[in-house]
Amino acid sequence: MQRANEYEFIRETIRMTIHEERELRNTLSRQTPVIQASFLSRFIRGYVDISHLTDETLQFMDIRFISDRFTVILIDVADFTRFSTDQSERQRALIRFIISNIGNDLLRERGWGYSAELDQNRVALLANVPPEADSEAAAREMDEIAARLKQVIEKRFNTYITIAIEDLHEGMDRVGESYFEALSALDYKMYQGRSAIIRYREIADADRHYYYPIETEIQLINFTKSGDSANVEKLIENLFHAHFSQRRITPELGRSLFHNMVSTLWKIINPLDPVYSEVFGEGFEPLKVLAACPTAEEMQVKVRDWFTILCRYLNESRSRHARQLSERIAQFIEQHYSNDMLSLTMIAEHFQLTPQYLSAFFKKQTGMNLSDYLARVRIDEAKKLMQDKKLTFAQIANKVGYANDIGLIRVFKKYEGMTPGKYRDSLQAE
């Protein structure tokens, strides 16, 4: 009886072990897609130690590589607002899922690889090219996959995507290199826009320097300070055309160029501190704004607008200052017209200006020569004093800044067309 019980116990233990193993296999089977996705994401980025990778490990993750020839296609979700106004992570995950599955289908049609979601807005296709495939033919296949994927996603799902295609590399240890080259190609969307297919082989020979000499910066500063917005816009347009149309610099250098131009902007703004907040508002952070610009064209527009806004502000500030100065000069004349020593030279010294500049400035602001304005103020005051019959012309002349009545008579006749005596007679007649 005891032996029977022991036999039943052993049999039950074996049955439970087999059941647990089956459950474990089922669990692992359900987790295989998750394990596979995690591995592919790390493998594409070059984070997997290839020396410990075995066929058994790949088989466990349901992965089979048919050769050691790989290329990476990166898909960046540029804009899915037409697909959904909901910009939540749930919608982003749905878009990634759609792109990943369509990309996977396109690869499996050829038996060439796998897809993997990398981050919030990015999906990768890992193409495993057969050993017998010609490199040029494989490149054409990659172009075809990219074109079909772009067409389906943009037309059927109303989502703009940017696709970067890397060149073919041999060896699993070079997949990470392929990824980073595709990543650098993807960065060129700042030139080609949010809906483009970018091939690394087409941008690999981009210029590694840009031209922004001190002479050009000084020109930009001088044009801005003088309020010459037309020349500012022309200079910025020429810089943009030279670096992004006539030739092609790398995106990193493109951003560096715009950052240097922002530095030039700050050189003009800093002396205005803290008044610069009146120009651009509180919390002006141009580098953050540029970082959010998806294309070089948008960066150019932002930089151009900042400089033209500053031009306009400086013009208005200069105009406001000039108006205030002309008003102060006029007020000074009205307060000191009775001083027979008051002259263009004396006024210029008071305002620390040269007589020549003061004369030209006052004429530009008021449309009247300063000497004429002074004479008009004195004559208008003399007219008021002439109403008092007790005052002689010599006394009136002295009160309005003339040493004697001869000076008053001469100036009065020049501006009024009659002598002070005739003017007083007309007052009495009235």
Query: Looking at 279, 314, 349, which one is the last position of a domain?
Result: 314
| pLDDT reported for residue 45 | 86
Co-location of 276 and 362 in the same domain = no
CB 47 within 8 A of CB 173: no
Question: From the centroid of its chain, how far is CA 123?
Answer: 26
Confidence of residue 208 (pLDDT cuts 50, 70, 90): low
Q: Please check whether residues 342 and 303 belong to one and the same domain.
A: no
Q: Tell me, yes or no, whether 199 and 219 share the same domain.
A: no
Provide the 8-state DSSP code for 51: G
Span 327-342, average pLDDT: 92
Rounded to two decimals, the pTM is: 0.54
Residues 298 and 355 grouped into a single domain = no
pLDDT of residue 23: 62
Does residue 29 have a pLDDT over 60? Answer: no
* Inside any domain, residue 143: yes
Whether residues 72 and 194 share a domain: the answer is yes
Say if residue 191 is in the same domain as residue 222. no
**326 in any annotated domain:** no
User: How many structural domains compose the chain?
Assistant: 3
**Three-class DSSP category at 430:** coil
> H/E element holding 165?
strand 160-165
Q: How far is CA 299 from CA 19, 39, 295, in A?
A: 63, 37, 7
Among positive and negative, which fits the CA dihedral 376, 377, 378, 379? positive
Average pLDDT over residues 256-261: 90
- More reliable by pLDDT, 326 or 19: 326
Share of the chain above pLDDT 70, in %: 89
Residue 310 in domain:
yes
- Which of 255, 244, 265, 263 shows the shortest CA–CA distance to 292? 255
Q: Are residues 224 and 198 in the same domain?
A: no
Q: What is the mean predicted confidence (pLDDT) over 162-190?
A: 85
The span from the CA of 35 to the CA of 59, in Å, is 12
* pLDDT above 90 (res 95): yes
> Is residue 3 included in any domain, yes or no?
no
Residue 341 domain flag = yes
List Cβ neighbours of 228 (8 Å cut-off, separation of 6 or more).
311
Task: Answer whether 63's CB lies under 8 Å from 53's CB.
Answer: no
Residues 6+ apart with CB under 8 A from 179: 44, 45, 46, 72, 74, 124, 166
Alpha-carbon gap, residue 182 to 165, rounded angstroms: 6
| 218-230 average pLDDT score | 88
pLDDT band, very low/low/confident/very high, at 16 (cuts 50, 70, 90): low
- Is 424 in the same domain as 374? yes
pLDDT, tens digit (0-9, with 9 covering 90-100), for 133-160? 888 888 899 999 999 999 999 999 999 9
pLDDT band at 26 (very low <50, low <70, confident <90, very high): low
283 falls within a domain: yes
In angstroms, the Cα distances linking 344 to 41, 185, 368, 402 are 81, 68, 13, 15
Element (H, E) at 310: helix 296-336
State the Cα torsion 12-14-17-23 to the nearest 10°: -80
Task: Return the bridge partners of 127, or none.
Answer: 71, 113
Residues near 63 by beta carbon (within 8 Å), at least 6 away in sequence: 36, 39, 40, 114
Q: Which of 10-19, 37-46, 215-224 has the lowest mean pLDDT?
A: 10-19
Question: Percent of the chain, pLDDT > 90?
Answer: 33
Whether 285 has a pLDDT exceeding 90, the answer reads no
> Mean pLDDT, the chain, as a whole number?
85
Query: Would 27 be classed as within a structural domain?
Result: no
200, 165 contact by CB (below 8 A) = yes
* Residue 420's CATH number: 1.10.10.60
pLDDT of residue 166: 84
Is 16 domain-assigned? no
Residues 118 and 183 in one domain: yes
Tell me, yes or no, whether 133 and 99 share the same domain: yes
- Listed in order, strand segments (DSSP E) in 33-153 are 69-79, 113-119, 122-129
Is 205 within 8 Å of 184 (Cβ atoms)? no
Q: Are residues 172 and 113 in the same domain?
A: yes
Residue where a domain stops, chosen among 169, 203, 237: 203
Q: Please write the tens of the pLDDT for every residue from 341-390.
A: 898 999 999 998 888 888 888 888 888 899 999 999 999 999 999 988 88
> Which CATH number is 156's domain given?
3.30.70.270
Judgement on whether residues 166 and 243 belong to the same structural domain of the protein: no
How do residues 46-67 score in pLDDT, each as one tens digit? 888 888 888 888 988 889 999 9
In the predicted model, is pLDDT for residue 209 greater than 80? no
Mean pLDDT over 264-276 rounds to 76
The predicted pLDDT at position 252 comes to: 78
Residue ranges making up the domain that contains 240: 214-314
What's the mean pLDDT in 383-402? 91
Q: Is the pLDDT of residue 191 over 70?
A: yes
pLDDT at position 124 over 90: yes
pLDDT at 335 over 90: yes
